Every structure is written in structure tokens, then in C-alpha cells.
Amino acid sequence: MAAGRKKSGKRGLPALSEGQLEIMNIVWELGECGVTRVWEALPAGRRLARTTVMTVLARLAEKGWLRRRKQGNEIVYSPAVPRDDALKGLVSRLVDSAFAGSAEELVMTLVAARGITGEEAARLRSIIDESAEAES
């Protein structure tokens, strides 16, 4: 496999770049949508040309991340991969590459760098407890 073409998850899809992930987050949020809706949903400080958004969407469809269909004169895109599946693959790659496979190091670094609220800590404790029970 060529450099920069890491695979993501079980489906063997190419990893998403930061810009592609930004577009995918919009499509996951909107569901089925056309180029104009995605372009309009971009943050104000991140204005891309509409043609750039069109190209990114087409490439994401070619790579298997999106489905596309013709609706009248417009091409409509929808996610081919659930957001949770994509994020699990992204986090797994991050843990493997940046933290030598240690989820503990990832969580400790995240908490040290960003901090967490009491509510987030309680949810994490619950997830950890459920995971420990499942291991038993």
C-alpha cells in the first residue's frame, strides 16, 4: 500500500484526511444532502469553493465513504459508513500510532490536555465499569 493510504476499519476504506472528516461530519449531521447544503453548512471561517466541496464529496463516494444518487438535476449524498464506525477506526489508528497501543495513555493525555467535567467523568466511570463487567 502506498504511503499516506492507510486503511480505516474493517471495511478497508482509505483513512480520512482532516478536511474529508470535516465534510463527513456535515454529511453525518445532515443525512442525505446535496453539494449546496454541505457547502452552506461549513463553518464561516472555513469557506471552501463550492467546486472544492463537490470534488471532495465525489472522491468520498468513489472511496466508499458516501453513497450517491441522482435526484432530478442534483446528486444527493448520504453516509455509507455510520459515524460511530468511522470514529472507532480513527481512534484505533490514533491509539496504535501515537500511544503505542495504550488506550490508558490516550485517556490520561486527553484528560490532562483538555480536562473533563464531573458529568463526563461519571459517564467514563460507567463505561469502564461496564467494560470490566463484560471482561469478567
Average pLDDT over the chain, rounded to an integer? 88
Q: What is the rounded average pLDDT of the residues 101-113?
A: 90
Provide, rounded to the nearest whole percent, the portion of the chain with pLDDT above 70: 92
Write out the H or E segment, with its range, that includes residue 22. helix 18-30
Q: How far apart are CA 112 and CA 115, in angstroms?
A: 6
Instruction: Give domain limits for the chain.
Output: 15-79, 100-136
Give residue 46's pLDDT band: very low, low, confident or very high (50, 70, 90). confident
pLDDT of residue 110 exceeding 60, the answer is: yes
Give residue 73's pLDDT band: very low, low, confident or very high (50, 70, 90). very high
Residue 126 grid cell? 460507567
pLDDT tens for each residue of 77-106: 999 999 999 999 889 989 999 999 998 899
State the pLDDT at residue 50. Answer: 93
Contacts of 79 (CB under 8 A, 6+ apart): 24, 27, 28, 31, 65, 66, 67
Q: How far apart are CA 48 and CA 36, in angstroms?
A: 12
pTM over 0.85: no
CATH of the structural domain 15-79, one choice from 1.10.10.10, 3.40.630.40, 3.20.20.150, 1.10.260.40: 1.10.10.10
Q: How far is CA 131 from CA 2, 120, 121, 136, in A?
A: 36, 16, 15, 9
